[in-house]
C-alpha cells in the first residue's frame, strides 16, 4: 500500500485522482486531502476515503469543517489550517506520493517541499516548475525524488521517451517535441471579435473539464505557454526545439520527433484519469476508468500552427523562457492577476496579454538563484500588474 497526499483535492484533478484511487484501494491509501474553501466537497471525499489528515487553508472554513465532522464517521481526522500545513502533510513519513494539483503560485511551496523530501511528485501544478525552474529540478535531483508529469501533454511526452527515462534528463536522440493544443474556444473566432469575449465564453472549453482559471488560460493559450516552459525544464530541451501544434480533436496528446525520422505519439480519449493512472501506476500500468479509444470514431485529425497574433500570450511565454532568470516567474504572476481581473469582469479578455507584456517590460531577467528572490519577483510582478490595470481603467 502506498500512502498518497492530494494537494487540491476538490479541484478537477483532485476529484479525478480520487476516482482512480477508489479503483485501486488495494494499492493506495489516502493519507491527506487539502482544500482552500470548498468544505462541502471535501467532507464527501473524507467520508469516502477516510484520510488521516485534512488541510483547509482558509482558517474560518477550517473551523467550520471541524464542526462539520465532529459527530461523523471521520471525527478522528486531524484538521489543520494555513498554507504552512500544506508543506507539513506533503512531507509526512507515511506519504509516498504527492499529487500536486493546487492551481497557480499557491502550490509552489508545498510541491517544492514534497520534492525536497524525496517523495514521488505527481506534478499537475505547472506553475511551480515555471516559477522555480532550476531550483525545483535541483531539489528533485538532490533528494532522489521521482517527478512524474500529470498534464496530459507532458505525460504524453514522458510516455514517448525511451524506457527508464528520468525527468530532467536530455535525450540526444530526440530532436524535437511537438506539444499539442486544442486551441481552446477561440481558435477560429475572428481576431477583431476577441475584445468582446465574455467570461462565460472563455471558460467554456470545447474538450476538457477544468477550473475557471485554467479554462481562461486555455482560451488565451497561456496554458500552452506555461506548458512550453515546463517542457523545457522537464525534458531539458531548448524552446526552439519545442513546437506548439493545434490539434482540435485532442486525441494525440503530444509527440516526440527522433533523429531517425520516427515520431512517437501518445493517443487516448481526452480524460485526465489517463495521465493520472499512468503516473500512479508507473512504471507499471493499471485501469483508469476511461473508455478505450475507438479510432473509427475519430475519422480525421487536424493539425495547424497557432497564430501569435491571435494568441499573444503564447508569444510572451516563448519570450519569457528565452530570457530566463525570473522572467517566467513574472509572466506567471502577471497572468494570474490579469486572469483574475478578467474573471471578475474588471478588464477585457484582450487586456490579459497587454497587462502581462507591460509587466514583463518593467523587469530584467535577473538570475532566479534563490527561493527568496523568486518569491520577491512574484510579489513585485503582482503589485506591478495591479498598478497597470488601475492605470488602464
348-367 pLDDT per residue, tens: 999 999 999 999 999 999 89
Helix, strand, or coil here: 231? Answer: helix
207 pLDDT higher than 70 = no
Instruction: Check if the beta carbon of residue 98 is closer than 8 Å to that of residue 4.
Output: yes
* Pairwise CA distance, residues 375 & 372, whole Å: 5
Is 52's pLDDT higher than 80? yes
Straight-line distance from the first to the last Cα atom of the chain, in angstroms, rounded to the nearest whole number: 55
- So what's the pLDDT on residue 393? 78
Identify the CA nearest to 178 among candidates 101, 235, 122: 235
The overall average pLDDT reported for the chain is: 95
Q: Which of 173 and 369 is assigned the larger pLDDT?
A: 173
Which spans in the chain are helix H? 12-23, 39-49, 59-69, 84-90, 108-116, 126-143, 152-160, 199-202, 212-220, 222-234, 273-281, 295-298, 312-323, 327-343, 351-361, 371-392
pLDDT in tens, 223-258: 999 999 999 999 999 999 999 999 999 999 999 999
d(C-alpha 104, C-alpha 106), whole Å: 5
d(CA 82, CA 215): 27
Helix (H, G, I), strand (E, B) or coil at 331: helix
| Cell numbers for 239 | 524552446
Q: Does 30 score more than 90 pLDDT?
A: yes
The residue among 266, 250, 246 whose CA lies nearest residue 206 is 250
Q: Kindly state the cell numbers that stand for 243.
A: 513546437
Give residue-wise pLDDT tens across range 267-287: 999 999 999 999 999 999 999
Please tell me the distance from the alpha carbon of residue 295 to that of residue 42, in angstroms, as a whole number. Answer: 37
Compute the distance between CA of residue 336 and CA of residue 332 in angstroms, rounded to an integer: 6
Predicted confidence at residue 105, as pLDDT, reads 86
Its pTM stands at 0.93
Decide if 116 contacts 110 (C-beta within 8 A). no
Res. 143: pLDDT tops 70: yes
Q: Which of 327, 329, 344, 375 is nearest to 216 (CA)?
A: 344
Residue from 286, 357, 325, 280 nearest 122 by CA: 280
The pLDDT of residue 61: 96
Average pLDDT over residues 110-132: 95
Tens-digit pLDDT profile for residues 158-173: 999 999 999 999 999 9
Share above pLDDT 70 across residues of the chain, in percent, rounded to a whole number:
99
- Determine the angle formed by the axes of helices 12-23 and 39-49, rounding to 10 degrees: 10
Residue 208, pLDDT score: 63
Task: Map out the domains of the chain with their CATH numbers.
Answer: 2-149 (3.40.50.720), 324-393 (1.10.1740.10)
User: pLDDT category, 303, cuts 50, 70, 90?
Assistant: very high
* Reported confidence tier of residue 51, pLDDT bands at 50, 70, 90: very high
How far, in Å, CA of 381 to CA of 320, rounded? Answer: 13
Amino acid at each position: 500500500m502506498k500512502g498518497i497526499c492530494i494537494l487540491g483535492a476538490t479541484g478537477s484533478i483532485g476529484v479525478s485522482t480520487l476516482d482512480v484511487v477508489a479503483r485501486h484501494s488495494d494499492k493506495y491509501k489516502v493519507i491527506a486531502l487539502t482544500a482552500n474553501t470548498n468544505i462541502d466537497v471535501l467532507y464527501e471525499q473524507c467520508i469516502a476515503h477516510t484520510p488521516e489528515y485534512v488541510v483547509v487553508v482558509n482558517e474560518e472554513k477550517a473551523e467550520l469543517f471541524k464542526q462539520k465532522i465532529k459527530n461523523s464517521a471521520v471525527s478522528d481526522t486531524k484538521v489543520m489550517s494555513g498554507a504552512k500545513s500544506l508543506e507539513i502533510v506533503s512531507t509526512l513519513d507515511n506519504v509516498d506520493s504527492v499529487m500536486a494539483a493546487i492551481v497557480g503560485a499557491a502550490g509552489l511551496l508545498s510541491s517544492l517541499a514534497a520534492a525536497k523530501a524525496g517523495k514521488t511528485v505527481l506534478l499537475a501544478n505547472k506553475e511551480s516548475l515555471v516559477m522555480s525552474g532550476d531550483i525545483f529540478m535541483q531539489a528533485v535531483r538532490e533528494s532522489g525524488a521521482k517527478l512524474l508529469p500529470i498534464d496530459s501533454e507532458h505525460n504524453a511526452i514522458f510516455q514517448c521517451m525511451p524506457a527508464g527515462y528520468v525527468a530532467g534528463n536530455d535525450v540526444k536522440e530526440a530532436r524535437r517535441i511537438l506539444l499539442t493544443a486544442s486551441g481552446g474556444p477561440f481558435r477560429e473566432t475572428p481576431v477583431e471579435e476577441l475584445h468582446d469575449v465574455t467570461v462565460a465564453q472563455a471558460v467554456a472549453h470545447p474538450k476538457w473539464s477544468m477550473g475557471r482559471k485554467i479554462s481562461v488560460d486555455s482560451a488565451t493559450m497561456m496554458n500552452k505557454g506555461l506548458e512550453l516552459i515546463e517542457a523545457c525544464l522537464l525534458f531539458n530541451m531548448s524552446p526552439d526545439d519545442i513546437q506548439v501544434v493545434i490539434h482540435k480533436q485532442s486525441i494525440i496528446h503530444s509527440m516526440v520527433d527522433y533523429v531517425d525520422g520516427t515520431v512517437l505519439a501518445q493517443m487516448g480519449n481526452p480524460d485526465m484519469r489517463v495521465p493520472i493512472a499512468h503516473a500512479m501506476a508507473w512504471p507499471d500500468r493499471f485501469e483508469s476508468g476511461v473508455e478505450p479509444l475507438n479510432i473509427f470514431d475519430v475519422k480525421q485529425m487536424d493539425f495547424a500552427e497557432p497564430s501569435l497574433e491571435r494568441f499573444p500570450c503564447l508569444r510572451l511565454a516563448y519570450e519569457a523562457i528565452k530570457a530566463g532568470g525570473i522572467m517566467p516567474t513574472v509572466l506567471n504572476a502577471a497572468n494570474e492577476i490579469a486572469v483574475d481581473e478578467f474573471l471578475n469582469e474588471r478588464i477585457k479578455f484582450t487586456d490579459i496579454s497587454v497587462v502581462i507584456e507591460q509587466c514583463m517590460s518593467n523587469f530584467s531577467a535577473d538570475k532566479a538563484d534563490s527561493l527568496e528572490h523568486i518569491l520577491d519577483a512574484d510579489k513585485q510582478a503582482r503589485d506591478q500588474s495591479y498598478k497597470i490595470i488601475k492605470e488602464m481603467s
